[in-house]
Every structure is written in C-alpha cells, then in structure tokens.
Structure 1
Amino acid sequence: MRLGEQGFLRISIAATVVVATLGVVFGILSGSFSIAFDGVYSLADAAMTGLALWVSSLIIQSTQRDARSGRIRNRFTMGFWHLEPIVLMLNGCLLMTVAVYALISAIISILSGGHELQFGMAVAYSAATLLVCAVMAFLGIRLNARIKSDFISLDVKAWIMSGGIALALLIAFLIGMAVQATPAAWVAGYMDPAVLALVCLVMIPLPIGTVWKALTEILLIAPADLQEHVDRIASETVRRLGFLSHRAYVARVGRAMQIELYFIVPEGLPAKTVEEWDALRDEIGDAIGDESANRWLTIAFTADAEWAE
C-alpha cells in the first residue's frame, strides 16, 4: 500500500508529538531554553499539521461519490479549497511568531549572563531529534516528488527546520562540553542562549515564501502563467469561431484551479443546439487541460458584454 498525503501527515503528527514531548521534558531536566523551545515549536507544528490533515480530508471527501460526501457538497457547494491557503498562512505565521518570541528570550538570557546547563542530557536529546527529523524529511521529500502536496511541502520544511535546530544544538552542546574543563569555561553558560538566538535568526524568514504564496491565493490574485495560458486558448477560439472577444477570470486556491471564461458572440449569430455548445465547452476545456476534481471551470457564451463584466 502506497503512502499518501493523509497517511504521511498522520505519521508526521505522531513523530512530532513524540519529539515535542521529549523536548519539553529534556528542556526542563537539562535547563536548556533552546531544547524547550524546540519542544514548543514541535507542538505548534503538530497542531498545524493536524489542522492540515483535517482540511486535506475534507477536500478529498468532498470529491467522493458516496452519500456522506453528497451531503457535504450540498452544504458546502463551493468546496473546501479556500481552507488550504488559510491553514498554510496560519501555520507560517505561527512558526515565525514562536521563533521571534524565542529570539527575544535568548537575547534576554545573554544579557543576563547566560545559565548553567546539563550538557550530557542535552547532547542525547539533540542527537535523537536530529535522527528523527532526517528520516521524516527524507520520507516527505520522496513522497512529495510523486504527489506534489503543499501541505507535505510545508511539513518537510518544518522537519528540515527542526533538524537544523537539532544539529545546531548538538554542535553547540558538544562545544560546551569540550570547554568546561578549560579556561574558557565561562563560554559554556552562554552557549545555549547564543545558539538559540542564531537558530531563530535563520528560522524566522523561512516561512515567508509560504505565507506570501498563501496570501496571494486568499486574495485571489491571478497567477500570470495561468492567466496567459487561458487567454491564449480563448483568443484562438475567438479568432477561429468569429466571436467578438472574451473575458477570463482565473485564480489558484490551494490545489484548486478556478477559471471563469466568457465569450462575447455577435448578435444574430445562427442558433446552435445545447449539445453543440456543450461540445464547444468540452473542446475548450480539453485545450485548457488539468481536468480533475480540483479544476473549477465555467464557460459561458453571451451577446451582452455586461454579463461578462
């Protein structure tokens, strides 16, 4: 049985909860703010991944043909695609907020003279977390090469970010252990907040691309490539059939492609049967391509341009 989007997200939630729990426990026992932050970050990521799983389930269920899915479609006639960019934007903003808060805490700790740390426990946690993050990121990258899911893509980024945190912590804690018996032992007290500050500075800008993409989808900003593709096909249809012009309205919302296409036809055009108009719609739809449950395509013909505005 091949692993799908929802299966991977379920595994990711379970792994994240385990890492988060260990992070909070080891952070308290070792006295490490950076490990505690890693645990809190993982908990936030688990909550967002759970929300992503729920939205993914709704989107997939709304495309099924059973009775329950039919009731869902009757209640939510416009689908659930609009929830996907909202979740992605919320996820990215939450992760950036957590990182900014941790950065402020790290700066305060540095200015306060740092603090003592149980390096042995900290090294053990960092090494174990790094291994889990590497395995999950590898699995996610392999899976997403096949299914191209924005949810999995963001989840992989989160695992890579968590792995980067764990690697930075591991290196810093090993350095702290090494200098404890040397004249530079005073450095050990600053190691934990310093590496936390560095990690946060790297992490804060990472979700910006995801947040911006989600925002453009929430605002229904027309993607240039999709607009150009639809305009080209519509213009060819207008020229070939002697229509007057067309109006195209396009957007990408999560995994959905939404297209409304209006053709302005001359007044007094010889009548066509409904079947002939439907055949023309099929022809235009085939030219646009990407026909699936995630394509929302409306094609209309009118002699009154006001209906297309």
Structure 2
Amino acid sequence: MLIQDKHAVEQRLLIQSAILMSFVAIGGTMMGVFSGSSAILLDGVVSFIAVIIKVMMIITSRLVSNETSKRFQFGYWQFEPLVLIAEGSFTLLIVSYAFLSGLTDLLGGGRAVHVGPAIIYATIFTIADTCYYFYVHQINKKLQSNLVKFDNISWSIDAMLEAGILISFLVAFGLEHFGYAEWAVYVDPIVLIVLSLQMMPSALKIIIPSVKQIMGVAPLKLHNRIQFIMDSFMEKYKFKDYVTSVQAYGNVKMIEIDILIPKNFPKQTIVELDEIRNEIDLAIGGDPAEKWVTITFTATKKWMAKDYLLDEEDED
C-alpha cells in the first residue's frame, strides 16, 4: 500500500469512527438519563471522551503525514503516544469515578432502572459496536496503523460495556418477572462496578506503552533485531566496533548506528560507504516512511555514541 493511500485510509477510518461514536455517545447519555441507569450513562460519558480523543487522533494523523517542519525538524511522531496517554488517562479517570459511584449506590440500597428500554438499547448497540470493531480490525490487518489499532480499542471497550449491560438487565428483568424486584435494584450498581474494573486494564494497556515511548525506553525486540543485523555486517566487513540506539513512536522506528572502522579500511570513499549504508538499510527493511535511520562511520571512537548495557528485564 502506498504511503499516501495509507494515510488517506487511516484518516478516513478515524473520521468515520468519530462520527459513529458521536451517535453512541448521544444515544448512551440520553438513554442513561431516561432509564435512570448509571451503567448506561457511564457508557455515554466514556463515548463522549472517545469522540474528543478520536478528533485528536485525526489531527495527529495529519501531522504525522507531514513528516517534518521548521519547528518540528524530527517530525510529529511523538504526538501519537501523547494522544494515547490522554485517551488512557481520561478513560482511567472516568472508570475510577464510576467504580466509586457504583459502590456508593450499592451500599445506599441500589438503583431503580427502567429495564425494558435499557435492554433494547443494549441489544442494538452491542451488535453494532461488535460488528464495527471486527470490520475495522480486518482493515487494519493490512493497514497496520497504530492510531487505528488503539482507536479500535474504544469500540471493543464499548462493545463489552453494552454486552455487560444487556446481560445484567436481562437478569434484572428476570428478577422482576419472577417476583424478586427488591433484588433487581442492585443490578445496575453491580454492573457499574464490574464494568469499571473490567475497563481499567484496557486503559492501562494504552497508557503504559505510550509512557514508555515518551520516556524514551528502547524497545527490546527492535534493539535485538538491529544488534543481530549489525553482528552479521561486523563479521562481513570486519568493523572494529559499533553502537546502536533505537526508539519507537507508534509505528515509526528511530535507529542510529555508529560504526567504528579501522584507519586502513578498504572502502574509503563516500560512495563506497553509502553502498554499505544502503545494504544495512535494506537488511533493516520496513516502510521507508516509518523509520528514521542514521548510519555513521568513524575511525575515532570519541565520535561514537556512548555504549551501554540494556536491561532486558525492564522490557516487554
């Protein structure tokens, strides 16, 4: 897929997702107020946050497609993890509040809910959210967009919310139907607590990798791969030493390689060294628009990056 086409499809999916999530947000908020369900209201509020984050993702996608500017000379790639941190943090904040709200309602004697409309709402949106999630998931298998991948998590979260609400209100309907209405009032706060606990790991799954990227934690898989490639080139060309530095921002890989060569290295011209650079770059592979590769040659060790020991236990 061409780079321009990839960005166009990515932005189309993000815009489409934002529009559809707006309907979910409006529907969830209105139904939450009408039915008196805190669980459905939570779904509506989380969806509104998701819409705001999706708009931020659209802006980020457009910035990243520009690659560089005078003010951001290394590109806009760092904006991607920043947006994802914002999404995860807002989600975590809301679900933490929802958990406390559900606990308060549970200890306060429960919450009465209009079960019938809530069941209809939850059935429609469970089916719609699930179908849309798998539709985008299939497209992104080929697209391989980090923004679309994490954006689609919001649809899986919403689908789980709706499914949980549907099952729980079917239980509440059964309790009312068989003469246990006094127990039905506890269903909504219990659902709210369970869904809040269920959503917390999803929020952390977004926050933790993004924080690592912002902090500059080297991705171990990429580090090991570049080391393996350079070991083979070291043996082939008899380099004296090399140091690699790697970083990742979303799909973009930052790779710097400093190579120490003997003073009597047989390849001395710029053209000959460029041929080695091209060979290393080809071995690294990947989309040219999603990597920033810098390869330097020196016969003096002081011009190399400082060597290090990467702590593998701190990586995933």
TM-score by length of 1: 0.91
> Given that residues 24 and 39 in structure 1 are in contact (C-alpha distance below 8 angstroms), is that contact kept between their aligned partners in structure 2?
yes
1:231 aligns with 2:236: no
Structure 1 stretch 148-157 or stretch 298-307: which is displaced more?
A: 148-157
SS of 2:248 mapped into structure 1: strand
> Given that residues 32 and 117 in structure 1 are in contact (C-alpha distance below 8 angstroms), is that contact kept between their aligned partners in structure 2?
yes
Task: Determine the structure 2 residue equivalent to 1:59.
Answer: 64
Task: Determine the structure 2 residue equivalent to 1:138.
Answer: 134
Cα distance in 1, alignment partners of residues 185 and 150 from structure 2? 34
Cα distance in 2, alignment partners of residues 291 and 6 from structure 1? 18
Deviation (angstroms), 1:223: 1.9
Task: Determine the structure 1 residue equivalent to 2:199.
Answer: 203
Per-residue CA deviations over 1:153-190 (Å, capped at 9, x if unaligned) read 22222211111111111122222222224431101111
Task: Determine the structure 2 residue equivalent to 1:28.
Answer: 33
Per-residue CA deviations over 1:122-169 (Å, capped at 9, x if unaligned) read 122212221221121121111111111222222222211111111111
> Given that residues 137 and 159 in structure 1 are in contact (C-alpha distance below 8 angstroms), is that contact kept between their aligned partners in structure 2?
yes
Cα distance in 1, alignment partners of residues 119 and 177 from structure 2? 17
Cα distance in 2, alignment partners of residues 281 and 176 from structure 1? 67
Cα distance in 2, alignment partners of residues 112 and 38 from structure 1? 22
SS of 2:246 mapped into structure 1: strand
Cα distance in 1, alignment partners of residues 287 and 25 from structure 2? 41
Task: Determine the structure 2 residue equivalent to 1:150.
Answer: 146
1:281 aligns with 2:286: no
Unpaired runs of at least 5, structure 2: 306-316
1:40 aligns with 2:45: yes
SS of 1:27 mapped into structure 2: helix
Cα distance in 1, alignment partners of residues 113 and 298 from structure 2? 74
Cα distance in 1, alignment partners of residues 203 and 144 from structure 2? 18
SS of 1:247 mapped into structure 2: strand
Distance 1:271 1:193, change over 3 A: closer
Deviation (angstroms), 1:13: 0.6
SS of 1:300 mapped into structure 2: strand
Cα distance in 1, alignment partners of residues 19 and 267 from structure 2? 61
> Given that residues 220 and 253 in structure 1 are in contact (C-alpha distance below 8 angstroms), is that contact kept between their aligned partners in structure 2?
no
Residue of structure 2 aligned with 1:6, choices 4, 11, 24:
11
Distance 1:14 1:291, change over 3 A: closer
Unpaired runs of at least 5, structure 1: 63-71
Task: Determine the structure 2 residue equivalent to 1:79.
Answer: 75
Task: Determine the structure 2 residue equivalent to 1:265.
Answer: 261
Cα distance in 1, alignment partners of residues 146 and 82 from structure 2? 12
Per-residue CA deviations over 1:249-298 (Å, capped at 9, x if unaligned) read 11111111111101112235467222122122111211221141111000
Question: 4+ residue runs of structure 1 moved beyond 4 angstroms?
Answer: 268-271
Q: Aligned pair count?
A: 300
Cα distance in 2, alignment partners of residues 105 and 271 from structure 1? 70
SS of 1:207 mapped into structure 2: helix
Cα distance in 2, alignment partners of residues 126 and 167 from structure 1? 7
Task: Determine the structure 2 residue equivalent to 1:245.
Answer: 241
Distance 1:201 1:282, change over 3 A: same
Cα distance in 1, alignment partners of residues 173 and 267 from structure 2? 85
Task: Determine the structure 2 residue equivalent to 1:304.
Answer: 300
Q: CA RMSD in A?
A: 1.9
Task: Determine the structure 1 residue equivalent to 2:309.
Answer: none
TM-score by length of 2: 0.89
> Given that residues 248 and 254 in structure 2 are in contact (C-alpha distance below 8 angstroms), is that contact kept between their aligned partners in structure 1?
yes
Identity %: 28
SS of 1:206 mapped into structure 2: helix
Residue of structure 1 aligned with 2:22, choices 17, 20, 43:
17
> Residue 214 of structure 1 aligns to which amino acid in structure 2?
S
Deviation (angstroms), 1:233: 2.3
1:87-102 aligned within 5 A: 87-102=83-98
SS of 1:222 mapped into structure 2: coil
Residue of structure 2 aligned with 1:105, choices 101, 105, 108:
101
> Residue 251 of structure 1 aligns to which amino acid in structure 2?
Q
Per-residue CA deviations over 1:59-90 (Å, capped at 9, x if unaligned) read 1233xxxxxxxxx5233210011111121122
